[in-house]
Amino acid sequence: MVDWRGQSRQNALLVYRSFGLVFGALSIAPLYVYKCAFSGGLLHYQTEDAVFGVFSVIFWTITLISLFKYAFIMLSADDNGQGGLIALYALLCRNAKFCLLPNHQAADEEISTYRYPGRSNTNRPTSPLKGFIERHKSAQTCLLLLVLFGASMVICVGILTPAISVFASVEGLKFQAKDLHNSVVVLIACILLVALFVLQHRGIHKLAFIFTPIMILWVLLVAAVGIYNIIKWNPRVYQALSPYYVYIFFKRTGKDGWISLGGILLCITGTESMFADLGHFRATPIRVAFSCVIYPCLILQYMGQAAFLSKNLSALSMSFYASIPVPLLWPVLVVAPLAAIVASQPVISSTFSIVKQLHAIRCFPRVKVVHTKRRIPGQIYIPEINWSLMILSLGVTIGFRDTNYIGNAYGIACLAVTIITTWLTLLGISLVWHKSFMFALLFSVLFGSVEIIYLSSSCMRILKGGWFPPVLSAVFLVVMYVWQYGTRKKYLYDLHNKVSMRHILTLGPSLGIVRVPGIGLIYTELATGVPATFTHFLTNLPAFYQVVVFVCIKTVPVPYVPQKDRYLVGRIGPKSYGMYRCMVRNGYKDVFKNGDDFEIDVVMSIAEFIQMEAEGCGNPEGAVDRRMAVVKTSGKFGTALFMSQTSGPGESSSSSSSTIVSSSKSNTLQNLQATYEQEAPKLNYWRRARFGLMDAKCKDTRVKEQLQELVEAKHAGVAYVIGAAYLKAKWNSSFIKKCAIDVAYSFLRKNCRSPAVALNIPHICLIKVGMNYIV
C-alpha cells in the first residue's frame, strides 16, 4: 500500500513537471497555425465552411498523430525506457547486425540491458528484410544515413523552435500598437533569443522550477479563451469535429486546400518531444498529462479560434490575438513570450542530447559536454552547439522576418523527423517486436500515408522558406558522415597494423625498455591486440610505466550500461609484464566519468581481476584471446583494497589492520608534484585518493605482491597516453575520398575539441603520440 502511494505520488510529480518540459512547443502552436494555414490560396475561401474545414483537419491531425500514434503507440516503442531516433536505431542494431560501431564483442550481449526479457530472437525464422540488410553493407550505410538525416532535422527543429515561438509571441505587439514597425518586433525577438541562449550558458536549469507554472498558466489561459469564443461567437463550431467537414473542405477548396496542409501541420509540431523525452518522465505520466490536459485544452483553443474566425474573417492575419477578450489581452501579451521561452528550452536541451548521442556512436565531431546537474543524468549543456543554435536562430529571425516563412521551414523539419520515426518503427515492428504483417501494414497506412500527404503539400512551400531545413540538414549530414567515415578508416588502420602478441612476448618482461614507477593508461579503439601507438612511443622514447593499461572506451547500443557490467578487464602477456586491458563500456546516453573517479574504478577493476584470476574464476566468465583473459567484473570492488582521502601527496589514513603503501617517488619529484598541485587545484583533488591493502583479506602472497605493485604505481602517478592521428588518403584514392579525408575530415579534426578535452583529462597528465595514418 505504501509502495503504491509512493509510486502514485511520483507519477503525479512527473505529470506536473512534464507540462513545462515536454509539451511547450506543442502548446505554443495556436499562435501561428491559422495564420500559416490561410497564408496562400486559401485566402480566397473566406467562408464559415472553410474555417470549419481547417479546424476539422487540425482536430483529426492532432488526434491521429499526436494522440494515437505518439501517446498510445510510440511511447511503448521504448529502448529500456528511452525514446528518440537513436533509441530506435539502437534497438534495430541489437536485434540484427545493422550496427557500424567498431569493437563489437559477444560479451556485450551479456549486458543486462542488452535484451528485453521475453524478446529473444531464438527459434524465430529469419526475416527476408533482416537478411538483406545484414548481407549488404550498403543497406546498413543507408539505414545509418537515414538516422543521421533525422538527427540533422532534430537539430534544425532546435534552431527553428526558438525563432518561431519567440517571434510569434512578440508579434502580438503589432496588434496592440498598430503603427509598430516590423523591424521593432524583429529586434525585440532577437533580444529575447540572445537572452535565452545566454541563460543556457549561465545555467537556465536553475530557473526550471518556474517553467511548469508558466506553461500550466498558458495552457489554461488559451483553453479559457477558446471556451469564451465558442460561447460568444459560434457554438455550432462543435459540428466541425465530424470528419464530414474534412471531406467538404477538400471538395470545395481543391488544390488550395491541399497546399494549406503545409500550414496546418504546424499544429503537431512539438509532438516528437513526447517520444524524445520519454527517458525523463516515463510513458504513463506523459500519456496522462497529454490525454487529460494538453489535448482537450488545445482542441478547445483551436475550436475557439475557428468560432471567432467564422464571424471575423478579416482577422485571419492576427487570428490568435484578435480572438483574445480585451481584458485579457495584456496578460496574454506578457505570458506569451514567457511561454515561448519555456517552450524553446526543452527543444534546445533535446538538441544537446541528440548531439551527445551522435558523438557517442562516433557520428559527430568531439564537443565539450558539461553536466549541469550531476545528480540527475541527462542534464547536459554543450557550449559549441548552444552558440551555433543562437547564431542560426538569429539568422532565421532576421533573414525571414515573417512567421509564414519560418513556419514553412519549421513544419518541414518536424514532419521529416516524424516520417523517419515512422519508418524506423516499421522496421522495429518486424524485426524487434515481431508483430504480424497486418499490424505493420495498418501502422504504415494509418500514419505513413497521412504524413506523406502532408509532405507533398509542404514541398509546395520550398521556395517560401521551406528550403532551409533540407539545405542545413544536408550540411549536417555531410559533417556527420565524413566524421563517421574518417573515424572508421582510422579504426581499420589500427586493426590492420596492431602489434602481434608474439612480438611483445619476445621483448621479455621489461619490454626492452626502462620501466619507471606509475600507471600508463593508453587509450585505444582496439578490443584486442596492442596498438601501434604504443610501439611508436617506445621507438622514440624507450621508457614506460611500471603498470601498463590499454583502455578502450567503447559505446554499446544500449542507453545505459549498469556499473556491474561496465568494465571488462584482462591481462596481456604473463603476469611479470604488468600489462592489462580495461574495456569501458558506455551506453549512448551514459555520462563518462572523469577525474579521480575514473582512475579509482580502473584500479579497483584491475585489483578484482587479480583476485579473480588467482581464484581461478576469470576464464569461465570471459573470453580468452591467446594470453589475455577478459572477465566481467563483479560487485566485489575493494575486497582487498581500501581507499582513503588525503589532502596532500604525503598524507594518508592509518589503520591497524591495513598496510599503507607509500609513494616510490624521490623527494625531488614529490616536491615538484606538490608545486604543480598548488598551481592546479583541480589536479590536487584528483590526487587525494589513496589506497591500502587489507591484510586480513589478502592472504595469498603472490596476489598481495601484485596488488602492492598496483597500489605503488597508482601513488606514483597516472599518465594518459593518447594518439594524435593525422589521416591522409592514399595517393591512388578516388577524388571523393581525398576530399573527404584530406579536406573535410582534416578540417573537422583541427577545429573540434581534442580527445583530452572530450575525456576531461588534465594537460599535466597527458602524453600525446603523433601518428600518420595513410588510409
- Are the C-beta atoms of 581 and 569 separated by less than 8 Å? yes
Rounded average pLDDT over 301-321: 91
Whether residue 649 is predicted with pLDDT greater than 50 in this model: the reply is no
pLDDT in tens, 190-218: 999 999 998 887 766 667 778 889 999 99
Q: How many CA atoms lie within 13 A of 294 on its CB side?
A: 33
Q: Where are the domains of the chain?
A: 19-106+135-484, 498-617+625-644+682-774
In sequence order, the β-bridge partners of residue 694 are 658
Confidence label for 696 from pLDDT (cuts 50, 70 and 90) = low
487: DSSP letter: H
712: its cell numbers: 605503488
**What is the Cα–Cα distance from 420 to 156, expressed in whole angstroms?**
14
Answer with the residue of higher pLDDT: 379 or 562.
562
What value, to the nearest 5°, has the Cα angle with vertex 329 and ends 323 and 331?
135
Q: Out of 113-117, 154-158, 547-551, 648-652, which region has the weakest mean confidence (pLDDT)? A: 648-652
Predicted pLDDT at 679: 53
DSSP 275-334: HHTHHHH-HHHHHHHIIIIIHHHHHHHHHHHHHHHHH-GGGGGGHHHHTS-HHHHHHHHH
Whether residue 623 is predicted with pLDDT greater than 80 in this model: the reply is no
Whether residue 634 is predicted with pLDDT greater than 70 in this model: the reply is no
Q: Out of 60-74, 498-512, 745-759, which region has the weakest mean confidence (pLDDT)? A: 498-512
pLDDT in tens, 5-54: 777 788 888 888 888 888 989 999 999 999 999 987 888 888 889 999 99
How buried is 16 (Cβ within 10 angstroms: 0-12 exposed, 13-18 middle, 19+ buried)? middle
Predicted pLDDT at 625: 44
Residue 768 host element (H or E): strand 766-774
Q: Out of 230-239, 660-669, 729-738, which region has the weakest mean confidence (pLDDT)? A: 660-669
Any idea of the CA torsion for 486, 489, 491, 495, to the nearest 10 degrees? -170
Predicted pLDDT at 158: 94
Whether residue 562 is predicted with pLDDT greater than 60 in this model: the reply is yes
Predicted pLDDT at 637: 43
Q: Which of 284, 334, 65 is nearest to 173 (CA)?
A: 334
**What is the Cα–Cα distance from 287 to 521, expressed in whole angstroms?**
47
Coil vs helix vs strand at 649: coil
| CB-based contacts of 555, cutoff 8 Å, min separation 6 | 101, 360, 361, 362, 585, 586, 587, 588
Q: What is the CATH number of domain 19-106+135-484?
A: 1.20.1740.10
Rounded average pLDDT over 151-169: 95
Whether residue 535 is predicted with pLDDT greater than 50 in this model: the reply is yes
E-only strand ranges, 499-561: 514-523, 543-555
> From the centroid of its chain, how far is CA 537?
35
Rounded average pLDDT over 415-435: 89
Query: Mean pLDDT, the chain, as a whole number?
Result: 82
Predicted pLDDT at 675: 62
Whether residue 656 is predicted with pLDDT greater than 50 in this model: the reply is no
**What is the Cα–Cα distance from 620 to 288, expressed in whole angstroms?**
47
Confidence label for 297 from pLDDT (cuts 50, 70 and 90) = very high
Rounded average pLDDT over 222-250: 94
508: DSSP letter: -
pLDDT in tens, 607-622: 888 877 777 654 444 4
DSSP 171-191: THHHHHSTT--HHHHHHHHHH
Torsion sign across C-alpha atoms 439, 441, 444, 446: negative
Query: Measured between alpha carbons, how far apart are the two ends of the chain, in Å?
Result: 63
**What is the Cα–Cα distance from 159 to 395, expressed in whole angstroms?**
10
Q: Which of 748, 191, 247 is nearest to 479 (CA)?
A: 748
Rg (CA), the chain: 30
Rounded average pLDDT over 479-492: 91
Q: Which of 603, 20, 745, 741 is nearest to 344 (CA)?
A: 20
Whether residue 121 is predicted with pLDDT greater than 60 in this model: the reply is no
DSSP 553-605: EEE-SSS---HHHHEEEEE-S-GGG-EEEEEEEE-TTPPPP-THHHHHHHHHH
DSSP 371-388: ES-TTSTT-EE-HHHHHH
Any idea of the CA torsion for 7, 9, 11, 15, to the nearest 10 degrees? 180
How buried is 241 (Cβ within 10 angstroms: 0-12 exposed, 13-18 middle, 19+ buried)? middle
List C-alpha distances in Å: 619 to 564, 575, 634: 18, 15, 14
| CB-based contacts of 688, cutoff 8 Å, min separation 6 | 596, 645, 646, 647
**What is the Cα–Cα distance from 676 to 413, expressed in whole angstroms?**
51
- Are the C-beta atoms of 745 and 483 separated by less than 8 Å? yes
In sequence order, the β-bridge partners of residue 660 are 692
What percent of the chain has a predicted confidence (pLDDT) above 90?
A: 36
Predicted pLDDT at 372: 72
Strands 658-660, 689-694: pairing is antiparallel
How buried is 104 (Cβ within 10 angstroms: 0-12 exposed, 13-18 middle, 19+ buried)? middle
- Are the C-beta atoms of 727 and 773 separated by less than 8 Å? yes
Burial 49-72 (b: 16+ CB within 10 A, else e): ebbbbbbbbbbbbbeebbbebbbe
- Are the C-beta atoms of 573 and 505 separated by less than 8 Å? yes
* Phi, psi dihedrals of residue 96, rounded to the nearest 5°: -155, 165
